[in-house]
C-alpha cells in the first residue's frame, strides 16, 4: 500500500491511498474458501459449491470488506505515525466520491482519496496572557452560613397549626375553570408546596394558613418555572403544564409542616463527619471550614480556568476549515440535523473546537496522560465515600472494592470509565494552566466570587451568544 498526503491549504489536505492486488488477494481468497466450506446452496452439497459460484454471489462483499479494512488501517496508521492533529474525521473527497464502488471481476489497484482537516499552524504560549488567582476567604460569617445550611439539611419536620414563611403546605388543588380539552375542572390531590419556592410577590398568600384553609392562586404566576415544581403540584403529565398556564386554582390545605433545624450536638457531628471523632462545636466549625474551603477553592479554580481558556483563545489566532467542518457535522449526524441547525449551532461548536486545538498543544508540551490505575483508584475512592455515606464502610466491603470498581467501570460499554478519564484529564490540564500562566493572587470572599463569575458569564453570553465554563 502507498499513502501520500497532498496539502491543499493551511487547514485542508487530501490523503491518497493506493491498495494493490498483493495487499488484498490472499485475504480475499482465504475468506472466499471459508464461505465456500460453510455454504448451503441449492443444487450443491453443503460446502461443495464451486468457488466461481461463491464469487458471483459474495465476491463484491468479500472484496469490499477487505478493501475497507485495509483502507481504514492505512488512514489510521498515517494519522498516528505522522502525529496529525486532525479535526472531526477524515471524509471521502468530493472529487473522488465514486471510488468505493467495487467490482471483483475487474479488481486491480484501488485508489482512494480522503480529505483531512487541521487547524492552521500556530505557536502556543502560556506567557502572553495574565490572569487572577482568586483565593477564597472562608471567614466566620461563611462558616456560620455553611453550618446553617447543614442544620437545615439534617432538619426534622413537625406538623404546625398555622403556616409561616419557609413551611411546606400540603393539600388538594382544583382548577377554577375547565381546562382546554377537558370536560371537568382539573384536580390533583398530592400537592406539597415549599413556600420558600414561591415568588416574593405571592408569598403572603401562603402565610397564616391552617388545615381546611382555602386560597385561590395562579401557579404560573406563583413560581418562576412550572417545570421545576410540577411534581410538587402533583402534575406528572408535562402536557398539562401548557394547559394550566395563566389558569387559577383553589388550594385546600390538608397539612402544614415546619422544618426544625438540627441541634449542634455529637449526633449531628457524626452524621456530617462519620468516624472522624468530632466531639465539640469548635472542632466541628474547624472541620466545616476545612471541607468547605477546599470545595469552594475547587469551584474558584474552575472559574479561573474558564477565564484562562477564553484569554488563550483570544490571544492565539488560527484558522479552521469552516465549510469542511459544517459538511462533517452534517455527515456525522446522518440526516438528523438540517443545514439551518448546523448554521445555528456552529459558533458554539467552533468555540469548543478552538479550545480542543489549544488543549492538544498543552497536552503534548506537558506529556499529560491518564493511566488506567488512576481511573480505578478514583472509582474506588468514590465507592468508599458512598459506603461511608450509607453506613456500609466495613472491612469486608473494602476488600471487595477493587472488583466492584472494575465491574462498575465496564458497565454501559465503559461509560463511567470514559467520564472519569475525561474528568482526570481536565484536572491535569487545569493544574498545568494554574501553575504556568502568569497570575496575580487576590483573596476574595466566596459571595463576591460568585457575583464576579455570574457577571463574567452574563457579559460573555451577551457578547457571543454563548457562555461556557
Domain extents for the chain? Answer: 2-117, 156-260, 306-464
Main-chain dihedrals φ then ψ at residue 208, nearest 5 degrees:
85, 15
Question: pTM (2 decimals)?
Answer: 0.69
The residue to which cell 488484498 is assigned = 24
What fold does the segment set 2-117 form as a domain? Alpha-Beta Plaits (3.30.70)
Query: pLDDT of the chain along its 469 residues, tens only?
Result: 899 999 999 999 999 999 999 999 899 899 989 988 888 888 888 888 888 888 888 888 888 899 999 999 999 999 999 999 999 999 988 888 777 676 656 668 889 999 999 999 999 999 999 999 999 988 888 899 889 989 988 888 899 999 999 899 999 999 999 988 888 998 988 788 989 889 999 999 999 999 999 999 998 899 887 776 777 788 877 778 888 888 999 999 999 999 889 999 999 999 889 888 899 999 999 999 888 888 899 999 999 999 999 999 999 999 999 999 999 999 888 878 888 999 999 999 999 999 999 999 999 999 999 999 999 999 999 988 888 766 677 788 888 899 999 999 998 889 999 999 999 999 999 999 999 999 999 999 888 999 999 999 999 988 876 544 4
Pairing assessment for the beta strands 439-445 and 131-137 based on DSSP bridges: parallel
For residue 102, what pLDDT is reported? 63
What fold does the segment set 156-260 form as a domain? Chitinase A; domain 3 (3.10.50)
For residue 229, what pLDDT is reported? 74
Amino acid at each position: 500500500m502507498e499513502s501520500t498526503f497532498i496539502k491543499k491549504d493551511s487547514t485542508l489536505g487530501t490523503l491518497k491511498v493506493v491498495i494493490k492486488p498483493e495487499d488484498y488477494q490472499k485475504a480475499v481468497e482465504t475468506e472466499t474458501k471459508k464461505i465456500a466450506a460453510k455454504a448451503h446452496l441449492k443444487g450443491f452439497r453443503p460446502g461443495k459449491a464451486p468457488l466461481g459460484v461463491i464469487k458471483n454471489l459474495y465476491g463484491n462483499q468479500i472484496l469490499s470488506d477487505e478493501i475497507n479494512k485495509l483502507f481504514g488501517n492505512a488512514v489510521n496508521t498515517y494519522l498516528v505515525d505522522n502525529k496529525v492533529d486532525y479535526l472531526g474525521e477524515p471524509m471521502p473527497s468530493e472529487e473522488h466520491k465514486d471510488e468505493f464502488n467495487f467490482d471483483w471481476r475487474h479488481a486491480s489497484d484501488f485508489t482512494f482519496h480522503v480529505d483531512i482537516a487541521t487547524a492552521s499552524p500556530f505557536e502556543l504560549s502560556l506567557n502572553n496572557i495574565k490572569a487572577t488567582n482568586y483565593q477564597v476567604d472562608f471567614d466566620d460569617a461563611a462558616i456560620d452560613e455553611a453550618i446553617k445550611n447543614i442544620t437545615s439539611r439534617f432538619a426534622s419536620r413537625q406538623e404546625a397549626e398555622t403556616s409561616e414563611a419557609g413551611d411546606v403546605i400540603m393539600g388538594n388543588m382544583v382548577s377554577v375553570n375547565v381546562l382546554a380539552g377537558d370536560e371537568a375542572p382539573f384536580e390533583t390531590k398530592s400537592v406539597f408546596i415549599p413556600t420558600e419556592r414561591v415568588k416574593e410577590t405571592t408569598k403572603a398568600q401562603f402565610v397564616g394558613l391552617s388545615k381546611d384553609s382555602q386560597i385561590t392562586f395562579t401557579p404560573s404566576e406563583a413560581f418562576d418555572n412550572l417545570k421545576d415544581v410540577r411534581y410538587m403540584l402533583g402534575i406528572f403529565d408535562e402536557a398539562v403544564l401548557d394547559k394550566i398556564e395563566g389558569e387559577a386554582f383553589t388550594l385546600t390545605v390538608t397539612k402544614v409542616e415546619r422544618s426544625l433545624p438540627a441541634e449542634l450536638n455529637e449526633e449531628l457531628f457524626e452524621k456530617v463527619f462519620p468516624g472522624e471523632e468530632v466531639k465539640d462545636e469548635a472542632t466541628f466549625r474547624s472541620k466545616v471550614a476545612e471541607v468547605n474551603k477546599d470545595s469552594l477553592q475547587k469551584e474558584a479554580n474552575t472559574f479561573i480556568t474558564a477565564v484562562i481558556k477564553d484569554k488563550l483563545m483570544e490571544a492565539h489566532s488560527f484558522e479552521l476549515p469552516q465549510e469542511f467542518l459544517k459538511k462533517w457535522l452534517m455527515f456525522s449526524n446522518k440526516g438528523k440535523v438540517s443545514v439551518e441547525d448546523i448554521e445555528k449551532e456552529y459558533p458554539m461548536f467552533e468555540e469548543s473546537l478552538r479550545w480542543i486545538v489549544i488543549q492538544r498543544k498543552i497536552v503534548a508540551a506537558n506529556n499529560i496522560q491518564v493511566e488506567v490505575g488512576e481511573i480505578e483508584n478514583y472509582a474506588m475512592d468514590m465507592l468508599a465515600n458512598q459506603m461511608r455515606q450509607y453506613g456500609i464502610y466495613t472491612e469486608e466491603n473494602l476488600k471487595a472494592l477493587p472488583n466492584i470498581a472494575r465491574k462498575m467501570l465496564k458497565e454501559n460499554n465503559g461509560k463511567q470509565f470514559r467520564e472519569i478519564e475525561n474528568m482526570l484529564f481536565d484536572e491535569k490540564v487545569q493544574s498545568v494552566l494554574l501553575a504556568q500562566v502568569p497570575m496575580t493572587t487576590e483573596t476574595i470572599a466566596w459571595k463576591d466570587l460568585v457575583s464576579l463569575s455570574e457577571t463574567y458569564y452574563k457579559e460573555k453570553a451577551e457578547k457571543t451568544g454563548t457562555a461556557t465554563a
